[in-house]
Amino acid sequence: MNLYLMRHANAGVPRGNPVSDNKRALVKEGKDQCILMARLLSALKVQVDVIVSSPLKRALQTAQFVGTELGYEAKVEVSPALAPDADYAAFLQLLKKYADREDVLMVGHNPNLFQYLGRLITGNGGAAVRMRKGSVARIDMSEHPPLLQWLIDPRMARSIYASVAKSSRPKTSRK
């Protein structure tokens, strides 16, 4: 299985009240991050079989925007194993549920998402992996321990697109 772990996109400033914070929606920059990252995934020929999201609004919106941009037609599945207060055991159970799938995108939150990633690729949680908002990591789950293939954040994606756009223009002389 190719597991794609994605941190939700920018949802502005966290709120002090947990109930209102759970309902925090993406801001314009976050929506733009979703489109950018989905286009990058599409350029990398990623076709997901299933998208699973945390139940919080910002993660669910991220999953839906990215799914729409990728042409994903099924409903985004929701799992509390991706919520901010979830634990690693619940995450492992979620992985087992989708073990028969080829490409799975899971959208969640820091700090547990980068902790899950660290534990997956080291087996003991010894890795500290920074995941900015909107970041996507690809993990090859067929390897033991699972192998981190790549980790791309929106800043890097913008940089890549800018350099490709500059270098792909044909150089013509005007005589």
- Structural domain spans, the chain: 2-166
Using CA atoms, how far apart are residues 58 and 12, in angstroms rounded to an integer? 10
Torsion of CA 114, 142, 33, 88, to 10 degrees: -30
Neighbours of 142 (CB within 10 A): 9
Residue from 127, 96, 97, 98 nearest 113 by CA: 127
CATH topology of domain 2-166: Rossmann fold (3.40.50)
Task: Report which residue type is found at 80.
Answer: P
Share of the chain above pLDDT 70, in %: 93
Residue from 129, 134, 138, 139 nearest 156 by CA: 134
Torsion of CA 76, 80, 84, 87, to 10 degrees: -130
Angle between helices 112-122 and 88-97 (to 10 degrees): 70
Using CA atoms, how far apart are residues 77 and 62, in angstroms rounded to an integer? 13
Q: Is the pTM of this model over 0.75?
A: yes
CA dist list (Å): 173 to 43, 170: 30, 10
- Residue given tokens 């985004």 in the structure block: 76
pLDDT in tens, 104-113: 999 999 989 9
What H or E segment, with its residue span, contains residue 102?
none
Neighbours of 47 (CB within 10 A): 11
For all residues of the chain together, what is the average pLDDT?
90
Using CA atoms, how far apart are residues 21 and 33, in angstroms rounded to an integer? 20
Q: Is the peptide bond before 146 cis (omega within 30 degrees of 0)?
A: no
Residue 23 binned pLDDT confidence (cut-offs 50, 70, 90): confident
Structure confidence at residue 171 (pLDDT): 57
pLDDT in tens, 46-65: 999 999 999 999 999 999 99
Q: Is the peptide bond before 55 cis (omega within 30 degrees of 0)?
A: no
